[in-house]
Amino acid sequence: MKALSQKRRHPLAAIALLLLGLLVTGGLYAVATTVNQAKADTTTASASDVSEGGKLFAANCATCHGMGASGSKDAPSLVGVGAAAVDFQVGTGRMPMQMNGPQAQEKPRQFNDQQTQQLAAYVASLGAGPAIPDASLLDANGDAAKGGELFRTNCAMCHNAAAAGGALTRGKFAPALAGVTPQHIYEAMSTGPQNMPVFNDANISPEGKRDIITFLKKIEANGSPGGADLGSLGPVSEGLFVWVAGLGVIIAFTIWLTSRTS
């Protein structure tokens, strides 16, 4: 204790204290944000799901989407969008929408799995549309190399070759795909949420979609073989890094090397 109190006026004490504070705050924040992560699961819909879903819809969605999901001037009709669209939009928290904007933002989900499933069952009952995909397509056990080729040809121009996301026009964007569940990836391809085009089964077969999911999960699990990936954003983050960190450290050394003269 005495040693500690003697060192308290050390020039580096303030820096050490600051680092400690940042570490504790950051650690607590990281713990707090990972505790509450959602898990998706699907079970078959029943008539009671449909009626419960109808009630949830009337209470939470009908303001914009209209009674019976027939649409209004603020939001499109949901007849025929299918269970997959609801599961994606509600399951990722994009719906109910946080605010008007270029596209719906991801946010903590508002409904639990059961409620989401009930909503999906209700909307699916209004008209035929893409269903929630079968679990056999979501096992991420397909051909990663083939999925990679499909991804580069169909997805990389917006989502980036490493699935790190990218910009679209007028504030719209393609999000990064790390951490997205296989089910949501599949549903996004089959329903085309926000500004994404629809990749129906004629475009990319269900096996192809499975391969893409396999590829995405594989590169996510692989991590970055070369060390920290700097966001997988390509030469811009690399250039920024060499200018700020690389040259910064070297300038610190040059100052040190020339500090004892004149």
Selected from 79, 97, 158, 178, the binder of other proteins by CB under 8 A is 158
CB of 194 vs other proteins, minimal distance in Å: 14
Determine the Cα–Cα distance for residues 45 and 92; give it in Å rounded to an integer: 20
Contact between 246 and other proteins by CB under 8 A: the answer reads: yes
C-alpha angle 130/37/121, rounded to 5°? 25
Which one of the spans 67-75, 83-91, 112-120, 218-226 is the region binding other proteins (CB under 8 A)? 218-226
Which one of the spans 54-62, 67-75, 76-84, 158-166 is the region binding other proteins (CB under 8 A)? 158-166
Site for other proteins in 170-199 (CB under 8 A): 170-171, 173-174
In which residue are the tokens 């999911």 written?
A: 213
Selected from 30, 145, 197, 201, the binder of other proteins by CB under 8 A is 145
Contact between 210 and other proteins by CB under 8 A: the answer reads: no
Site for other proteins in 91-110 (CB under 8 A): 102
Taking every pair of Cα atoms in the chain, the longest distance, rounded to a whole number of angstroms, is 87
Contact between 6 and other proteins by CB under 8 A: the answer reads: no
Contacts of 187 (CB under 8 A, 6+ apart): 84, 85, 87, 88, 130, 132, 133, 193
How many beta carbons lie within 10 A of that of residue 236, not counting itself? 10
Binding-site positions for heme c read 61, 64-65, 155, 158-159
